[in-house]
Amino acid sequence: MTTKAGKIKDMSKRTIYIFGGVIELQQVKAGIDAGGTLLKIAYQENGAKHYRKYPIGEMESAISWLKMMAPDLGVALTGGKAHIVQQKFFPDGLMVPEFQATCEGARLLLLEEGKKLDAPFIIVNVGTGTSWHLVNGEKYERILGSGMGGGTFMGLGALLTNEANYEKFTELAASGQKGNLDLLVKDIYESDQAPINGDLTAANFAKGLSVKHSPADRMAALANMIAETIMLLTLQAAAIHKVKEVVFIGSSLIDNPLLKGTLNNYMTMLSLDAIFLKNGEYCGALGAFLSV
């Protein structure tokens, strides 16, 4: 390919020929996290790190783009569907255990964002489901898991609204009122004498038969139920392991302001320090990338 400046680029050899001179480029390397819902890619080219994500159903086109961009790609794989990606596209690709990749990627992002955590902390990975990891220095272990997560948000969201689009679900949730479906503590006491915060939920979806509600209210109540479940499990894990700092990552928090905001409010209420990493959905891909 000849550019206007007279440069010829040979992408297959990762070499640039400029007016008779030769410059060897760094090999492009990538980490791929193939999960239940999304395919996430962290890759570096000429010293710059980039991130991309695709629905897992677009795996073929995503990998085709990546291989066209870098035919001599060095790749490491992680995630539940990593073996499929390896078999179909990268037979020599390095396989990295998912929990290792997640924790190492999170530690790097914390470092890049200038958030130094000396004491042990918990990583809460809100993906299709949710996993909890205890990180203590160079050691880490998965301590808990739940089927409540982004898959719940999508699956129940479809049943509750007859929609099928993640952006639509988050838009509805942000505009709805959970109190039109959830029975709140203040609904029971009907006064200022409640022994706990009146806006807390006494029973999820308990008003479903008695109060008029909209699809937006249903999604708000759903997001709240997911956040409360994650909050309660996080509180128990933090108490058992004597931890005060919680790092939230995962694709289900991206562009989902209600879920993220509700989690943050609950953590503040419980006197736990919550950190939401900017590129937290790419922790697994980034951790795999570090192994290349």
Cβ pair 144, 162 in contact under 8 A? no
> Is 195 exposed, middle or buried (CB count within 10 Å of its CB: 0-12, 13-18, 19+)?
exposed
- Give ∠ CA 277-133-236 in degrees, rounded to 5: 105
Residues, the chain? 292
Beta strands in the chain (DSSP E): 7-10, 15-18, 21-24, 29-34, 38-45, 48-55, 74-78, 94-95, 121-126, 130-136, 139-146, 183-184, 201-203, 245-249, 273-276
Cβ pair 10, 69 in contact under 8 A? no
Out of 24, 45, 58, 98, pick the active-site residue.
98
98 given a catalytic annotation: yes
Residues taking part in catalysis: 98
